[in-house]
Amino acid sequence: MAEFGYFTARVYTSKGEIPVSNASVVIESYDMSSILGARVTDQDGKITPIIINTPKRSESQSPGAQEAPFASVNVRISHPRYYTYYIRNAQVFEGETSMADAELIPIDYSADYPFKAFDFNVTPQNL
Amino acid sequence: MPETIVTPYVPSYITVHLGAPDSNAENVTVSFPDYIKNVASSEIYPTWNEAAIIANIYAQISFALNRVYTAFYPSQGYDFDITSSTAYDQKFIRGRNIFSNIDQLVDGLFNSYIRRVGFIEPLAAKYCNGTTVTCNGLSQWGSEQLARQGYNSIDILKYYYGDNIEIVTNAPVREFAESYPGTPIRLGDTGDAVIAIQRSLNEISNNYPRIPKVAVDGIFGESTENAVKTLQSIFNLTPDGVVGLATWYKIVYLYVGIRRLAELNSRGQQLRGISFEYPNVVAIGDRGEKVTIAQFLLSVIAEFYDTVPFVEIDGIFGQSTQNAVKEFQRTFDLPVTGVITQSVWNAMYDVFVSVDNELTTIDYGTQLDNLLNGNSQNQGNNISYGDSDF
């Protein structure tokens, strides 16, 4: 039986956490070769979970795993009014839900280069 | 003369330097619960036994609070509370994914910490993985093994830190006047806490319309319970309709955040009669209207950019304002001088315009509008971060 976990997102703007609806959330494989799921945020800025295949849970419950005990995925969150939010190597474990709490920033169209991404890379735990 | 004992508080926000202390890295200011959620997700695995996860979270909270309580970095002249470097502090990865179970646990624990019996300060709880690195503190892998043997989180902490520790629970959160009352508020309850919850739910629901409006009558009836359940379902809290610590502080953070935006919007409307043209160089030691405008621009920007810290709008260009200017300059690849020249002013204004449209389109609702328009304390006077009914 395949092992899997879940990925979900909540998208908002400002520290007041004003929800951003109709943002696209795309989960792609870590090598960007395939799209694993895509959603659009609802009025609360949320999506329904996307199922992601993962290594076995037991791989993360004792030290010395030969391979990373989690699935690595890339997450692209975008909306026409905001800078793109990109997480590289986001982690998903079997039976657990990973969440992207994405605070989006409004685009500054007056800037020399108004279109840019906020790009975050997740490195493994030092375990 | 008797010694003044300073009670440790939990900061509502914490500033994290994204590198070693002396590196030219950005600072980010995040809510304290979000900081701990990020650290816990970066340091350990979510698949571990819950007792091990909780023990690790307590250690992470205590370590961070010790840094804050002792002003470890500010006392050395730095403008941040802690770093993201594991050579000095705890792992923090800006923008990373967090794990749902860790998210829920931290919401219920973020203002609890470890201390030695007879001592005031949070324990500077050291820890390491316990395999490739050993230390005089908690072993992360060891905690998981102990949990599998049936140890609870307190047993695990005592195993590593000694029997002379205790857990302080429900510590006050700075800038929030009203702490969680200590017991859950639920169906059938009445009183001031219920009024505060109802008022806050109504404000939050202006931007989260799935949360139904409720009568502000101080009676926790079924409609209030339903509104609480809806909020809980949106924010990954147990949807039981009971306002425990986690739900209380989620409501507080949201309400204070929205109120702060409303105050800035109101302040902006007052300032629109004043020219935003570059006045002349604005620097440390300056006072007056040009400083007020600069602080207002930075405050609005800080609501949207976590790399720009909050600054009080008091018309006085002191150290905190200078720090905010420096972080703005660092964020936008400008020379980091702490001085507002024409190019810096223009950049601040351009970024302000880009986010101001959000500020003016947010639905603050009638209640906050009335509060701000009718409250003379907010008419042209200082806005302090955190002023609220909480």
> Taking CB atoms and an 8 Å limit, are B236 and A98 in contact across chains?
no
Here the tokens at position B329 are 């300059």
Average pLDDT over residues B281-302: 95
Distance CA B193, CA B202 (A): 14
Q: Reduced to 3 states, what is the DSSP secondary structure of residue B363?
A: coil
Q: Dump pLDDT digits (tens) for B202-241.
A: 999 999 999 999 999 999 999 999 999 999 999 999 999 9
pTM of the model: 0.94
Which residues have a Cβ under 8 Å from the Cβ of A66 and sit 6 or more positions away? none
| Res. B318: pLDDT tops 80 | yes
**Residues of chain B positioned with their CB less than 8 A from the CB of A90:** 96-97
Contact, B247 vs B181, CB < 8 A?
A: no
**Residues of chain B positioned with their CB less than 8 A from the CB of A123:** 93
Tell me which DSSP letter residue B3 carries.
Answer: P
Q: Dump pLDDT digits (tens) for B44-99.
A: 999 999 999 999 999 999 999 999 999 999 999 999 999 999 999 999 999 999 99
Q: Which of A102, A101, A14, A21 is nearest to B261 (CA)?
A: A14
- Listed by number, the residues of chain B in 116-155 with a beta carbon closer than 8 Å to a beta carbon of chain A are 129, 131-133, 140-141, 144
CA distance A6 to chain B (A): 10
- Tokens 């989180």 belong to B153
Distance CA B100, CA B64 (A): 22
**Residues of chain B positioned with their CB less than 8 A from the CB of A85:** 95
Here the tokens at position A51 are 């199922």
Q: For strand A24-29 and strand A71-79, is the pairing parallel, antiparallel, or unpaired? A: antiparallel
> Taking CB atoms and an 8 Å limit, are A106 and B95 in contact across chains?
no
Q: In whole numbers, what is the pLDDT of chain B averaged over residues?
A: 91
Query: Where does the pLDDT of residue B376 fall: very low under 50, low under 70, confident under 90, or very high at 90 and above?
Result: very low
> Taking CB atoms and an 8 Å limit, are B46 and A93 in contact across chains?
yes
Average pLDDT over residues A89-115: 91
Q: Which of B45, B95, B355 sits opposite A127 (nearest CB)?
A: B45
**Residues of chain B positioned with their CB less than 8 A from the CB of A8:** 100
- Listed by number, the residues of chain B in 101-120 with a beta carbon closer than 8 Å to a beta carbon of chain A are 101, 103
Q: Nearest 10 degrees: CA dihedral of B287, B289, B291, B296?
A: 140
> Taking CB atoms and an 8 Å limit, are B304 and A105 in contact across chains?
yes
> Taking CB atoms and an 8 Å limit, are B86 and A123 in contact across chains?
no
Flag whether residue B211 sits within 8 Å of chain A, measured between CB atoms. no
User: Which residue is closest to A73 within chain B, CA to CA?
Assistant: B97
